[in-house]
Amino acid sequence: MKNSKKCTTLLVLLGSALILQASPARAASNIENTEEKLSISTEDFIIEPQFKDILETTTTSAVTTTSLSATVTLNDLQNKINALVAKVEQDKKSGITFATEKLSELYLDASKVEGTLSKFELNIEAAKKLIQANSSDQEAITAAYNTIDTSYNSIRTLKTYSSFSGTDGEVWKDTNGVPIQAHGGQVQWLEKEGKWYWYGEDKTKGYRSNGISAYSSKDLYNWTFEGYVMRTISSREQLDKDPYFSELYKDYTSKEKDNVYLCFNDSTAVIERPKMIYNQKTGKYVLWFHADGPTVESPNSNYAAASAGVAISDSPNGPFKFLGRYRLNVCPAADKKGEWYEASAGFARDMNLWIDDDGTAYIIYSSEENRTMFISKLNDEYTYLATDVDKAVKGKDFVRLFPGAQREAPALFKYNSKYYMITSSATGWDPNQAKYWVADDILGEWTDMGDPCIDDKDKKTFYTQSTNVINVDKDGGKFIYMGDRWKSNNLGDSRYVWLPLEFDSKGNLLIKPYTNWKLEDLNNKYSIQVNSELKDVYTGIEELPKTLNIKVNENGKWINKDTAVKWNLPDLTPMSKTTVTGVLEAVGRQINVNVINIPNNLQYYVDCGAKKGSTTYELANSKAKLKNSKEWDKAYAEGSWGYVGKIGTDINYKNSDSTDDYDNGFWAYKDKKIEYVVPLKAGNYSLFAGFNEWWGANRTMGVSISYKNSNGETVKQELGTFTSNSKKNVKYTFNLPIDTEVKISVYKPNVNNPDVILSWFALQENR
């Protein structure tokens, strides 16, 4: 490159990969003759890393950089200056606030990118000088053109928030206009500090980055960056020579520092899911995280360690001092079933922390290759297990949950004396369907309650993965679901989706899609207590109550009040249990009840194959006074009713001890039918039947009736065929001209069809 004249023009070229700044020597030089033509070359610039990925553009101008080989005239440059200056004024009028101050050193690499309005203005002035000097240096003109355009797009913009974007997942900036980097994190109120703290993974550089970051807030909307409370290490030498690290680990031996570097370096260590708890007894802030990466034995593996790391600090802002990483509790010998994942003893990956009402702390973590979940009690210092692994007792020191379910990302909280835990499946960075569990004892039995999400059309937890639940006001039932919306191709731009948690009258958890919502929207999400007695099952819509007495929270106080109920009534298939929703008009909340529409003129209800009782039969017999009022099922006897096949030859039982009308039933042997005979009077009838596909087959079946007419001839009537691979109800109507016995048959229409099944049937006389 040829030599060029010295100039004071400062050109900062913000490209997609480089920041170019004038060298100090040239920046300090003076223009010898302003009428001379100016020239510039890439030798005049210092090249340093571009940290554009931490800045989020909110302005509308696109970066339209021009290659150095393209021709850009001074007129083009003037037009670009005019357009950008006008755009800045337009942005200001529209309410956009531009950053005017440099980022603090807390941001580490980010502090090298000024991203301020004043920097943009300096670049504009530098470009104007080229025009004023009537420069003919094409390289300098092109560089200036690109610089001012890119500089405009890199200005940090400041925003004061008053709501959460919810499922929109908008970029969330801190109070300095930098997108928040606290992924896989946790938010909690720290009483001692009098504000909320948010800890999470910094993904500025992608999978591995600067460490664990912290933010604080007074209102949960606007967050101030407190710094990297636990910084990753770039070289082993830093632990001895960098004042930040050497002071923190001054009492560590060389071998201990080697381990710190192995576990917390920025090139091979995996640092995920950081969670912090404060120990009131010791006054220490204790940070746990998924600590993975190489081990001494497996130096080239990303996930060899499979451990939980722990660090402590005297301040919530750090620095946190690394104590170690550990594998935790293992599957008891008595619980082993020979599954392959049981050999992955003590693994600890996606994790969370919980302090119970008595001050006992627990760590919740995915283990055994993410196939199981453990909850383990921590010691009084919260820095290790309460009991060593080889002495730990299941149910006292830990609990092993959901073996084989492959759950991760646990988020635990407590409400109304019950423990709730939301988890995701394990599908990498891709979202999946959430599930939640409930328990009365944190180390006891947990009940699978299914997916808490409502109106989640794609069954992807609104395209998020759980990370934490924020306890805003547990007495008032105010909680916030925290989810990460990962972007695997750009982890630094992964988003945060926070949503209100809602509880129905039975304490069931609901997560619904909200956008642009406020903390005030949490006011009526608590579990409303219905003081009026509700039935487990209603036998008709006429039984549904028109008013209820409820207990509600108003202005922080619990009161009792009456409310009208508006029921949303779907078409109710007779004899099929349906969930009906009612709106409590006084508070705008919903309740759900179960309804089985039992017609008053029901003649028979038969719960096939049931031996120990039938809940639906009892309800039907109580309301309709059935013809089979003494038994819910039996074998046929002449002059009575019942099934006609031979048990063990023609048909056999399925789940006969169950009292659930779909869970139990009959299945037929090869090419056999399931048949019942019932005596009926002449008339018009509706036949209802229920089927449950216990084996997951795609099963086609037919239903027919037959009887003998007044001439003694057999009359057969095909009622219809259907195909099902789950639960299925059918309804058919037929006329009976005389009083007679009717044989109801379930058969397979084609020899290639699977053999038939039947859970229950009912007969209604249509009057």
Q: What is the per-residue pLDDT across 570-624, written as a single tens digit (0 to 9) for each?
A: 889 899 899 999 999 999 998 999 999 999 999 999 999 999 888 999 999 999 9
Is the dihedral angle over the CA atoms 262, 265, 269, 273 positive or is it negative? Answer: positive
> Is the omega angle on the peptide bond into residue 243 within 30 degrees of 0, that is, cis?
no
pLDDT at 495: 98
Residues (pLDDT < 50) of the chain are: 1-63, 65, 68
Query: Looking at residue 126, what DSSP letter applies?
Result: H
Is the dihedral angle over the CA atoms 651, 655, 659, 662 positive or is it negative? Answer: negative
Instruction: Please give the Cα distance from 468 to 354 (Å, whole number).
Output: 11
State which amino acid sits at residue 14.
Answer: L
pLDDT at 53: 34
pLDDT at 44: 32
Query: Looking at residue 659, what DSSP letter applies?
Result: -
- What are the residue ranges of helices labelled H in 199-242? 238-241
| Domains within the chain, CATH numbers bracketed | 74-158 (no CATH), 164-232+269-522 (2.115.10.20), 529-596 (no CATH), 602-766 (2.60.120.260)
pLDDT at 112: 58
pLDDT at 8: 31
Question: In sequence order, which residues have a C-beta less than 8 Å from that of residue 202 and are 6 or more positions away?
Answer: 181, 182, 183, 209, 210, 211, 212, 213, 228
Host H or E run for residue 153:
helix 138-153
pLDDT at 79: 96
Residue 462's closest CA among 411, 419, 417, 513?
A: 513
Provide Rg for the chain, Cα atoms: 35
Instruction: Please give the Cα distance from 129 to 568 (Å, whole number).
Output: 72
Residue 684's closest CA among 735, 729, 631?
A: 735
Question: In sequence order, which residues have a C-beta less than 8 Å from that of residue 366 and are 6 or more positions away?
Answer: 347, 348, 349, 350, 351, 372, 373, 407, 408, 409, 410, 426
Strands 642-643 and 699-708: unpaired
The two structure tokens encoding residue 605: 């209800």
The two structure tokens encoding residue 646: 């031979």
Q: What are the C-alpha distances in Å from 256 to residues 249, 267, 384, 751?
A: 9, 19, 18, 73
**Residue whose structure tokens are 């105010």:** 478
DSSP string, 415-452: ETTEEEEEEEE--TTS----EEEEESSTTS--EEEE--
Instruction: Please give the Cα distance from 266 to 675 (Å, whole number).
Output: 71
Instruction: Please give the Cα distance from 481 to 472 (Å, whole number).
Output: 11
Beta carbons of 399 and 449 less than 8 angstroms apart:
no
pTM, 2 dp: 0.79
State which amino acid sits at residue 218.
Answer: K
Question: In sequence order, which residues have a C-beta less than 8 Å from that of residue 98 and are 6 or more positions away?
Answer: 88, 91, 92, 116, 117, 155, 156, 157, 158
State which amino acid sits at residue 83.
Answer: A
Residue 305's closest CA among 294, 315, 313, 297?
A: 294
State which amino acid sits at residue 504.
Answer: D
